[in-house]
Amino acid sequence: MWQRAFDLMLRRLLQNGSLQVTLPDGQHFRYGDGTGTPVHVHLHDTATVRHLVLNPELALGEAYMNGTLTIEEDDLQGFLGLIVANRDDTAHVWWQRLLPGLRIALRRFSQNNVTLRARRNVAHHYDLSDALYDLFLDSDRQYSCAYFRDPGDSLEQAQANKKHYIARKLMIEPGMRVLDIGCGWGGMARTLARDYGAQVLGITLSEQQHAYAKTTARREGLADRVDYRLCDYRDVTGTFDRIVSIGMFEHVGLPYYETYFKTIHDRLSPDGIALIHTIGWTAAPDATNPWIAKYIFPGGYIPTLSEVMRTVETSRLWAADVETWRLHYAYTLRHWFDRFKANEDKVRALYDDRFVRMWRFYLAACEQTFRHSRQAVFQVQLSRRIDAVPLTRDYLYPQQEKAVAEPPTPQLSHV
């Protein structure tokens, strides 16, 4: 029964590409239209077949982690690219159609990120070994989408591009007080202090990130300009000229969007500017992938722009600029994946093979979602005053502005 249901599920899903599956009893099945590079998957027990039939979004990652699903030549990127490129809302067989609706109905419960729960969620992912993140991130530990002016940019260059682009959107001037909500390992805060002369308060709920950020600021001679605190955004007091939040909004949780943007409004000076950088979903609101929620980012959620803006509109803030980054995170994740793969023996020494397979799946699945599905990055620039930000985007592109200001000298003709 389970094999028949599995066969029906894949025939419904795989319309393009070429997938061969070998079942536990040795039977071979082919799916897709035969185009592209073929991918060959082996399933090693009947329990995996059953779990994939009943709850594929959760079971697929678990099967790969546990080694009960293997891919020839371990072509994980090719396999996940094939699955994600074929997936759409009509691909579910009838017995799976209740799952998405149930997950959406339970979103507010699963994302009820009160302070204690928010700390626990952060610790699950960000308080892993410091050595792990050094193995695949850039030297400044930027764990968010980089900005590729060219797809061939190095990871270090693209992450530097991101930080300076955000600084221009914030219009930082020396002496400004800046709040960095969800500061991570502190790289953005140090850039704003060192290169732009700002006084920065960076807050995080991760003890590991907090310790690293403070140590690094002291080592770089920035301790008098950057202050890092273990603090929830809801507990911050005072006002700031600028607020930046990179890759943190995904952890806020739907029930707290109003609280989050009210905090932005109340902590921002009347002529201040804020910049929110978040992963976003460009289709109808959905639920968090259950495998990601269980193993990688508990309490996390990828918002749609409509969900973000609905709360911005009630917070008395201007959406001064909204920008969507496409494919930048796919490029970023490929750099991370390649670096992680190159250092898997070191990761295995820190944890075990199951952890290695879990993180390999996480990085590859996220990349393919940014390449083939409806995931992107939103940057929302906010202000309290209508005129806090220039009327045009020229200030973001100084080279373009110079070219406009200095048109080429016309050639004079001789009669």
104 occurs within a structural domain: no
Domain termination residue (choose one: 41, 62, 96): 96
Look at residues 63, 147, 110, 75 and name the one whose alpha carbon lies nearest to residue 298. 110
Do 292 and 218 lie in one domain? The reply is yes
337 occurs within a structural domain: yes
Do 38 and 182 lie in one domain? The reply is no
* C-beta of residue 406 within 8 angstroms of C-beta of residue 179: no
412 occurs within a structural domain: no
CATH of the domain at 344: 3.40.50.150
Do 122 and 259 lie in one domain? The reply is yes
Do 66 and 214 lie in one domain? The reply is no
102 occurs within a structural domain: no
Look at residues 60, 115, 72, 80 and name the one whose alpha carbon lies nearest to residue 251. 115
406 occurs within a structural domain: no
User: What is the structure's pLDDT at 92?
Assistant: 58
33 occurs within a structural domain: yes
Catalytic residue among 145, 183, 231, 366: 366
- The C-alpha R_g of the chain, in whole angstroms, comes to 23
172 occurs within a structural domain: yes
Do 70 and 124 lie in one domain? The reply is no
43 occurs within a structural domain: yes
Domain termination residue (choose one: 46, 68, 96): 96
Task: From first to last of the 415 residues of the chain, give the pLDDT tens digit.
Answer: 788 889 988 998 999 999 999 999 999 999 999 999 999 999 999 999 999 999 999 999 999 999 999 999 999 999 999 999 998 755 555 455 666 666 666 666 667 667 777 778 788 888 888 899 999 999 999 999 999 999 999 999 999 999 999 999 999 999 999 999 999 999 999 999 999 999 999 999 999 999 999 999 999 999 999 999 999 999 999 999 999 999 999 999 888 999 999 999 999 999 999 999 999 999 988 888 999 999 999 888 999 999 999 999 999 999 999 999 999 999 999 999 999 999 999 999 999 999 999 999 999 999 999 999 999 999 999 999 999 999 999 999 876 544 434 444 444 444 3
Do 218 and 282 lie in one domain? The reply is yes
Do 89 and 113 lie in one domain? The reply is no
Collapsing DSSP to helix, strand or coil, 352 comes out as: coil
Domain termination residue (choose one: 65, 96, 127): 96
Angle of helix 305-313 relative to helix 257-267, nearest 10 degrees, comes to: 50
Do 223 and 298 lie in one domain? The reply is yes
Residue 26 domain boundaries: 2-96
Do 218 and 346 lie in one domain? The reply is yes
Cβ contacts of residue 31 below 8 Å, gap of 6+? 10, 11, 13, 14, 18, 19, 20, 21
| DSSP summary character for residue 26 | S
Do 299 and 328 lie in one domain? The reply is yes
Do 131 and 33 lie in one domain? The reply is no
What is the domain count for the chain? 2
Decide if 366 is catalytic. Answer: yes
Do 78 and 115 lie in one domain? The reply is no
User: What is the structure's pLDDT at 328?
Assistant: 98
